[in-house]
Structure 1
Amino acid sequence: MRLLYIDIDSLRPEHLGCYGYLRPTSPVIDQLAAQGVRFSNFFASDTPCVPSRAALLSARPGIHNGVVAHETTPVGSTLRYGLAERYGGAPLLTHHLAAAGFYTASVSSFADRHFAGWFHLGFREFRLPSLKGGNEDAPEVNATALPWLERHARSDRWFLHLNYWDPHTLYTEPLSYFREMARYPAPAWPDAETLRAQGALTGIRTPRTLWGSSRHEGFGRSRVPTMPDRIAHRRDFEHLISGYDGAIRYLDEQLGAVLAVLERQGVLDETAILISADHGEAFGELGQYMEHGAAIPAVHRVPLIVRWPGLTDRAAGSVRRELLLNTDLAPTLCEALGLQVPQGWLGRSFLPLLKGGELEHPRQEVVLTHGLHTRQRALFDGRFLYLRTYHPSYYRYEPRMLFDVACDPHLTRDLSRAEPERLAAMDARLSVWEREQVAASGRSDPLRDLQPYPPAGDMAAYLERLRREGRHEDARRLEAQSARLRTDYAPDDLSV
C-alpha cells in the first residue's frame, strides 16, 4: 500500500470549497473530497504547530507526550519519548510504520523551523525543500517532492509526508491569485460594527496591533502586498482574507502537479491520499486575525479528507460529523493497514467511518489545549465550548468563558453569567479529565509547568507602547487584569 499524507500548515477547513466555502479556493482538494470521505469535526488535540504534530505522531495528547508549546519555552516543548515509549508500547507512528516495512519519508521544513529534532525519528528519508524555515512556497516543496515521487511512486509500501506552508503568514503567492480571489465576495463576518468594537482590543494580531511585537513587526502592504498594515475597516479585512484565500488556491494548483505524477506513474488509484493540517486560523474570533493563538474551534478544527482506494469507495463523497481528534489518525491507519495498534496509544480508531459504518462508542466531547500565545484548555461537546484560561498573555480574556458555537460560531457572546450551571458542570468535567490524565501519565501537566508568558519586562514594554499610542484606558484594563493573575487565573493544584 502507498500512503501520501499532505500536511498543510494553517489551513482552516471553512475556506475550502468542499467544506462549503463560496470562493473557488480548492478545486483539486474538492475533487479528492468527492472521491473520498470528508470529516467536519476533526480537531487537533493541541495547538499550535509543534504540539499538534507531536500529538499526531505519538497518538497521545500533549498532557501525556509533554509537548504543549513551541521551542521558545524551555518546558513544555520536549517530547517525552525514549526507549520505554518506542519499545514499551507507545512508538511514534513513523517508527511503527518503518518497523512494519514501510519506507517512511518526509519533505518538510517543520523540524528545521521549530528546532523539533524529534520529528525526524522514524523517517528513513528526510528532505528539506529549502532553508527558509517554512517560508518556502509550494513550488519549492514540489521541486523536491515531485522527483521523489517519480523515483519511488511505483514501489510498494511507502509513506510520504508532504508539508506545505502557503496559508501560513506571510501570504507570498503571486498577486494574480490574490486578485482572482478578490473578485468574489468575502465572508460577511466580521462586519464593520464588529471591527469598530475590536479596535480597543489588546494583544498580538488584533486589528490595531496586526503585526504586533513579533519578528514581523513593520511588515504590511509595503512589504507583502497581499496583507494590510492593520484592520481598521472592512476593506482591510477583505484585503487580508483575499491574501489567505489566494495562498490556498496557489497551493491547491500545486497539488494538482503531485496527482499528475501519481497518475503518470500509474499508481494514482493505488495510493491512499490524506489531506489535513496542524491547525486552523482565527480571522476575528476572540479578536485574533491570521493567528492560531487560542483553544477555540477556529484554531483546533482542521480538515481531514481521506481517499483510500478499496476502503472508502462505498462511502465516497460522504461527510462524517463525529467528534474526532488528530490522535485518532495513527490507530486508524494501523487498523486499515492490518497492523497491530500499540497499546500505549491513546487515540481511538475511526476505521468504520471510512467504510461508511458507525462507531460503537463515539466521543461526546473533546478536550483542546493551547500553550503558546495564551495558556488555555477547552471542553467542546459539539455545541457548547467551555474555555478556561490559565494565562491570558496580552489579551483580555476572562478566566472562564462559555460559548454556544452552534448559535454563535464566531464566539461573540460569553454565556458564563447567563448559564452558570452549564459553566460549572463543564468546568467540573474538564477538571476530572485533567486529574485522570495526570494520574495516568504519572507526570505533571506540562501546561501548568510553562513559565509565565509574557515575561514581566515584555508586558511592561507592551503597556508603555499602548500609552505612547494614546491607548491609556486599554493599558489600564490590561494592567488590572495582570494584577488578577495570582487569584482569578490560578489553576487548581494537580499534584501527581
Structure 2
Amino acid sequence: MTDRPNIILLSVDALRADHLGAHGYERETSPFLDELADRELEFTTAISTSSHTREAVPALLSGRYPDVFAANGYRYVPKTVADRLSEAGFRTAGFHSNPYVSRAYGYDSGFDTFDDDLVLGRNKLVALAQRALNKFVLNRGEYHARAAEINDRSLSWLDGLSDEGPFFLWNHYMDPHGPYNPPAGLTYADRELSNDEAQTLYQKTIDRPDEITDEERQSLIDAYDGEIRYLDDQLRAFFDALDDRGLLEESLIIVTADHGDAFGEHGYYTHPRYIHESLLHVPLIVSLPGERRSDTVTTPVSTLDIVPTMLEYAGESGRELPRGPLVDRDGELVQNEEVVFASATGEDEHEGIRRFAARGERWKAVLEREIDSGEIVSEAVYDLAGDPTETEVLSVEDAESGTLVQQLKDFSASRLDSVDTTTREGNTEEQSTEVDERLEALGYK
C-alpha cells in the first residue's frame, strides 16, 4: 500500500439496503454491488445517522451527528472531510446534482473542483431557479445528472491530474431518488412511465400518500428497482475505468448511501423524517488499497464511521469525532461501540420534536423528545430478529432490551443539551425557508 492512498467516496441518494441482492432482495437489481460485497469488506448492518439528505449527507461528510445541522437550519458546518484532506495536501473534487448539498449551501468548501450541476451561481434562489428552468422550460426530461454523466465528469477530472500526491474524490449519485424514471428498457414494470407520469405519481406520494393504490405502489417499486439496476451498471463502469487507470490498487474506495426510501410500509413514501429501517439501513462496502480483503461484518456500524476511516488512511487524526474508523491502516477491523444512533427532527406539526433511535444487533429502541423541554413524548422497542419491518411495538419495560433503552435515553438527552451551533457567514434562516418551499413545490422531499 502507498503511504497515503487515494480516497474515493461513492454515495448514493435514497438507496435502501434491502433492495440489493446482497441483502436478500429477490430481483437482480445489483449484480455488480453483490459481486463487490462478496470480494471486499461488507458491513451488512450499516445505519445512516438520519433519514433525509439535509441531515444525512453533512453527517456523512463531517463525521458529526446530524442534530448539529438541524439546529442551524441545515446550514453547512465545517469541517468536512474535504476541508481536512485539502489541508493535508490531497487534491479534492466532488461531483453531484443535489441542490441541498450544493455550493449554494457552502458545500464546495475544501474542494479544488466542485461540480454540483448548478451553473448559474452560488445563490440559493438562483440555483433553484435553474432547477426549475431545466425541468419545465428546457425540458431536459430528467431531474438530476445521471450516473453516467457523474462518471464522465469525475473521470475527466482524474485524467487531468498530475501523478503527484493523492486525491480525494466524492461522487454522489441521485438516480434512485424520486421521481423514479429509469432509462428506457430498465424498468421492471409492464409499461414504462413518461417523465410527466413519473413526476405526477411521485408528487402524489408526497401530497396524498393514503390515496396511492396497490397498482401505483407496485409501479413506484418497479421504477425504483430499475433506477438501482441502471446505477449498478454505472458503478461497474466506474470501477472498470479506475482499474484501467491503475487506481484500484492505490485507492481506498467506500460505497454507501445517505439514507433509504419508503414505499408505504408505515403509511408514508419517499424519505420523510422518520427513523424506520427502510430509511436508515443502507449498504456499506469498503475496498481497501493494496491486497484485497474480503469479510462480512454483521454488527451494527454507523455512516459516521466513514469519515474517521478516510482520515485513518490519510494519516490524519479524527480523535475529536464521536466515532472511530471501521478499519485501521493495516486493514484490521476496529471494534467500535456496537450500538449506533440515528435521529431526525420532525417537520410540519412535529417540528418541535426530535426522533432518536438506538440500533443494536437484535433490538432497536426509539423515542421522541420535545426539543425545547427535552421531555420524552413517546418511546418503543422493536425486536428486529423476529420483526425486521417494525410492525410490532414492544414495551420499553422488556428486560432484554432495557440496557439499549437506557443508552438511548442518555444519548438523546446529551444531544439536546450539547448541540454545537457553529454557522457559516452569509446563511440566513429566511433564505433556507424559501428554498425549502420551492424545493417542495418541485416535488423534492
Shared fold by TM > 0.5?
A: yes
> TM-score by structure 1 length?
0.68
CA deviations on 1:256-307 (whole Å, 9 max, x unpaired) are 3322322332333333321111101223332223334311222112111111
Cα shift at 1:173: 1.2
For the pair 1:105 / 2:93, whether they are aligned, the reply is yes
1:332-351 counterparts in 2 under 5 A? 332-337=309-314, 339-351=315-327
Q: Is the 8 A contact 2:96 2:171 kept in 1?
A: yes
Q: Would the aligned equivalents of 1:327 and 1:347 in 2 still touch at CA under 8 Å?
A: yes
The amino acid across from 2:341 in the alignment is: V
Name the structure 2 match of 1:84: none
In structure 2, C-alpha distance between the alignment counterparts of 1:39 and 1:56, rounded to whole Å: 16
Q: State how far apart, in whole Å, the 2-side matches of 1:282 and 1:353 are.
A: 36
Deviation at 1:115, TM superposition (A): 7.1
In 2: Cα distance, 1:125 partner to 1:297 partner: 35
**1:304-345 Cα deviation digits (max 9, x unpaired):** 11112326x2x32x21112211221111222223x1314422
Distance 2:249 2:229 in 1: 24
In terms of Rg, which structure is larger?
1
Tell me the secondary structure at the aligned position of residue 323 of structure 2: coil
TM-score by length of 2: 0.75
Q: Is the 8 A contact 1:68 1:369 kept in 2?
A: no
Unpaired runs of at least 5, structure 2: 120-129, 132-142, 192-200, 371-376, 423-428, 430-436, 438-445
Structure 2 counterpart of 1:54: 58
Contact 2:205 2:269 in 1 (8 A): no
CA distance in 1, matches of 2:234, 2:10: 12
RMSD: 3.5
Q: Cα distance 1:353–1:109, how it changes in 2: closer, same or farther (>3 A)?
A: same
Match of 1:435 among 413, 421, 427: 413
Between the aligned partners of 1:166 and 1:142, the Cα distance in structure 2 is: 13
Partners of 2:98 and 2:144 within 8 A in 1: no
Q: 1:80 to 1:22 in 2, by over 3 A?
A: same
From 202, 205, 215, the counterpart of 1:211: 205
Distance between the aligned counterparts of 2:309 and 2:66, measured in 1? 19
| Residue in structure 2 matched with residue 386 of structure 1 by the alignment | 365
Shift of 1:250: 0.8
1:411 maps to which of 386, 390, 402:
390
The separation in 2 between residues aligned to 1:399 and 1:211, in whole angstroms, is: 26
Shift of the 31–153 alpha-carbon distance from structure 1 to 2, 3 Å rule, reads farther
Give the secondary structure class of the aligned counterpart of 2:386: coil
Residue 218 of structure 2 corresponds to which residue in structure 1? 238
Q: Alpha carbons of 1:432 and 1:353: their partners in 2 closer, same or farther (altered >3 Å)?
A: farther
Q: What is the match of residue 363 of structure 1?
A: 337
Q: Counterparts in 2 of 1:281-296, with a 5 A limit?
A: 281-296=261-276
Alpha carbons 1:208, 1:231 under 8 Å: kept: no
Aligned equivalent of 1:167, options 168, 171, 176 = 176
Given residue 26 of structure 2, which amino acid in structure 1 is its aligned partner? Answer: L
| Aligned positions of 1:40-439 closer than 5 A | 40-63=44-67, 66-68=68-70, 75-81=72-78, 91-111=79-99, 117-129=105-117, 135-152=144-161, 156-179=165-188, 210-213=204-207, 231-233=212-214, 235-310=215-290, 313=292, 315-316=293-294, 318-337=295-314, 339-352=315-328, 355-357=331-333, 359=335, 362-373=336-347, 375-390=354-369, 399-416=378-395, 419=397, 426-438=404-416
Contact 2:210 2:267 (C-alpha < 8 Å) held by counterparts: no
Match of 2:136 in 1: none
2:74 aligns to what SS in structure 1?
coil
Instruction: Please report how far the alpha carbon of residue 174 of structure 1 lies from its aligned counterpart in structure 2 after TM superposition.
Output: 2.1
- CA, structure 1 residues 166+20, in 2 after alignment: closer, same or farther (shift >3 Å)? same
The one-letter code matched in structure 2 to 1:296 is H
Task: Name the CA shift for 1:113/1:277 in 2 (closer, same or farther; >3 Å).
Answer: same
Deviations 1:85-110 (A, max 9, x none): xxxxxx32111111111001001223
Q: Deviations for 1:374-405, whole angstroms, at most 9, x for unmatched residues?
A: 541122222222222348xxxxxx83232212
Give the counterpart letter for 1:370 in structure 2. Answer: A
Q: Could you tell me how far apart the structure 2 residues matched to 1:295 and 1:67 are? A: 17
User: How far apart are the structure 2 equivalents of 1:144 and 1:136?
Assistant: 10
Q: 1:404 to 1:285 in 2, by over 3 A?
A: farther
Q: CA deviation at 1:348?
A: 1.2
Inter-partner Cα distance in structure 2 for 1:281 and 1:259: 25
Out of 5, 24, 27, the residue aligned to residue 23 of structure 1 is: 27
Listed as ranges, the gaps of 5+ residues in structure 1 are: 70-74, 82-90, 184-206, 218-227, 392-397, 445-449, 451-457, 459-496
Check whether the contact 1:283–1:291 (CA below 8 A) recurs between aligned residues.
Answer: no
Equivalents in 1 of 2:270, 2:330: separation in Å?
A: 32
Query: 1:336 is matched by which residue type in structure 2?
Result: Y
- Identify if the C-alpha distance between structure 1 residues 283 and 422 changes in structure 2 by more than 3 Å, giving closer, same or farther: farther
Report if aligned partners of 2:308, 2:324 keep a CA contact under 8 Å in 1: yes
Tell me if structure 1 keeps the 8 A contact 2:306–2:325.
yes
In structure 1, how many angstroms separate the alpha carbons of the residues matched to 2:181 and 2:164? 35
CA deviation map 1:60-94 (0-9, x unaligned): 1023xx2138xxxxx5413444xxxxxxxxx3211
- Would the aligned equivalents of 2:365 and 2:380 in 1 still touch at CA under 8 Å? yes
